[in-house]
Amino acid sequence: MRTAPSREQTVGIEYYYSDTDGTDGQLRVRPADFQVQELETVDPESVDSPTGDYPHVLLRVTLSEWDTNDFAQRLSNDLEISRERISWAGTKDKHAITTQLFSVARIDPENNALFSIPNADVEVIGRIGRSLQFGDLGGNGFEIHVRNATDTTVVDAITAELHTHAMDSNHSQGEENRDPLSRGADEVSITVPNYFGHQRFGSHRSITHRVGRAVVRGAWREAVLQYVANSFESEPKATQRAREFVDEQAGSANPDWEEAIERMPGALRFERSMLHRLNAADASIESDAETWRHALMAVPENLQQLFINAAQSDLFNRIISERIRQDIPIHRPVVGDIVCFQDQNSPTGVKRADPTRTQLATERRVDIMRQHCERGRAFVTAPLIGTKTDLASNTPGEIEENVLAEYDITPADFDRPGAFNSTGTRRAMALQTDISTKIGVDRAGEDYDDIENYLLEFKLPPGAYATAVLREYLKVNPAKL
């Protein structure tokens, strides 16, 4: 098995699923190189429908070089409405061309402000009776150009390896169907580990999972210092020195938090907010846990929840990696696994798991559950740990329990105040998708300048990371993904 780069290993991503050397290359050289389109599941009423029954105007928006949150703020400013009246189904990458849905409550659909934002193509498509909720989409379709690859000849070999994982347990497939590449198939079924991408934990400073692990253990002081005092070499020197000063003061009997605030760059407003609370409380190394928890709660609730989500994601990644290390399949069950069934509302081309419909793979039922997984009707899961998360049994359960024990965490530890609480769920360990690969051809079918560029097209369910697929092909430092 091929080992992942050390930076990925820090967030539990320890292995590749393919052993073939990667292509290397660059992503997002141009915004059009990375295109994402939501697979829509919302069926709106006519824009002329009664506003009392359907107060939310539904927009289909194509954005270039816009962060989703920043665009929503710009939209609220231009419409002169509260930001709370704007909702969307999924957050998208800024360095891309993205097409997604937004709902806006109680506005005139002909308001010129809708259509005057730079790099935003807005289409009014109807009305709905409620605001969009996070996850109100069937998935995402991706068209991704990889440029300046060092070796495109390995693309087919990588695809073949990932296809083997998709087919190695499917006894119902004849040999003639096991190598679609040799038959010139437009799309090939592949399987990759459903890892949470490195960006889940902070693209430049991967600390959110460390903060979250400290929170669930009730180590509030450690959580604050992980966020404020943990310096990274990738940061500016002044920022590194400011964080090191905070670390020094945290170990002092009489910390100078006022000086720490003065040294912390103004752009790091969350760090400064925590320090202001520590200063107001005159917090020292002996301060009680409540003082440090109050400091951590200076950040918005969505960031508080992100800390917990990141801790869950890191543990999930580590469970997948341990199964791969032990050569236990992640795409078909063994005795003790908890399997969930496919979402019956999955759109065409997307294999989406429904974690509310689960079943234990017992000795008596494991074979039939394996058949369901082979046909894409079910998925082997691992836990996103929370207070109500069921753990697997037998060997899968031992792996889950050992990973938790390594970090001194139990499901009950997620019973924390406010946004730090989580009941948990389970998530499919493997991503299955059909992929199209084209070397030296762009999305319009025109030739590239040379063959050191290639195009990948695939669809993924909500919450899945395109980097889970891309990393298998490029095999580069995650910073390049």
Q: Are 241 and 147 part of one and the same domain?
A: no
Range of the domain at 223: 217-299
Q: Are 47 and 27 part of one and the same domain?
A: no
Dist. CA 359–CA 393, nearest whole Å: 12
Q: Are 10 and 110 part of one and the same domain?
A: no
- On the question of pLDDT at 172 being above 50, the answer is no
| 204 pLDDT tier (thresholds 50, 70, 90) | confident
Mind spelling out the 3-state secondary structure of 270-289?
HHHHHHHHHHHHCCCCCCCH
| 175 pLDDT tier (thresholds 50, 70, 90) | very low
For residue 446, what is the DSSP state? P
Q: Are 51 and 82 part of one and the same domain?
A: yes
Q: pLDDT tens digits, residue range 307-351?
A: 999 999 999 999 999 999 999 999 999 999 999 999 988 888 898
Q: Are 476 and 331 part of one and the same domain?
A: no
- On the question of pLDDT at 46 being above 80, the answer is yes
Which pLDDT score, from 0 to 100, does residue 447 have? 53
Average pLDDT over residues 425-453: 80
Q: Are 222 and 339 part of one and the same domain?
A: no
Could you give phi then psi for residue 9, rounded to 5 degrees? Answer: -65, -25
- 208 domain residue, yes or no: no
- 200 domain residue, yes or no: no
- On the question of pLDDT at 292 being above 60, the answer is yes
- On the question of pLDDT at 150 being above 60, the answer is yes
Give the CATH number, domain containing residue 278.
1.10.1510
Which pLDDT score, from 0 to 100, does residue 448 have? 54
Residues 6 or more apart in contact with residue 174 via CB below 8 angstroms: none
Q: What is the pTM of this model?
A: 0.92
Provide the domain count of the chain: 4
Which pLDDT score, from 0 to 100, does residue 185 have? 65
Enzyme catalytic residues:
93
Q: pLDDT tens digits, residue range 444-465?
A: 555 555 678 999 999 999 999 9
Q: Are 248 and 322 part of one and the same domain?
A: no
Q: pLDDT tens digits, residue range 179-193?
A: 656 545 689 999 999
Dist. CA 205–CA 363, nearest whole Å: 44
Which pLDDT score, from 0 to 100, does residue 171 have? 42
Average pLDDT over residues 359-387: 96
Q: pLDDT tens digits, residue range 47-94?
A: 999 999 999 999 999 999 999 989 999 999 999 999 999 999 988 888
Dist. CA 410–CA 289, nearest whole Å: 20
Share of the chain above pLDDT 90, in %: 85
Q: With beta carbons less than 8 A apart as the criterion, state whether 265 and 228 touch.
A: no
Mind spelling out the 3-state secondary structure of 390-433?
CCCCHHHHHHHHHHHHHCCCCHHHHCCCHHHCCCCEEEECEEEE
- 115 domain residue, yes or no: yes
- On the question of pLDDT at 443 being above 70, the answer is no
β-pair partners for 97:
35, 64
Could you give phi then psi for residue 195, rounded to 5 degrees? Answer: -65, 145
Q: Are 23 and 151 part of one and the same domain?
A: yes
Mean of the per-residue pLDDT values of the chain: 93
Give the CATH number, domain containing residue 318.
3.30.2350.20
- 1 domain residue, yes or no: no
Residues 6 or more apart in contact with residue 206 via CB below 8 angstroms: 7, 10, 11, 198
- 274 domain residue, yes or no: yes
CA-to-CA separations, 181 to 144, 305, 431, 458, in angstroms, rounded? 20, 44, 20, 16
Question: Which of 154, 162, 169 lies closest to 192, judged by CA?
Answer: 162
Q: Are 330 and 413 part of one and the same domain?
A: yes
Q: What share of the chain is helix, strand, coil (3-state, %, to 5)?
A: 35, 20, 45
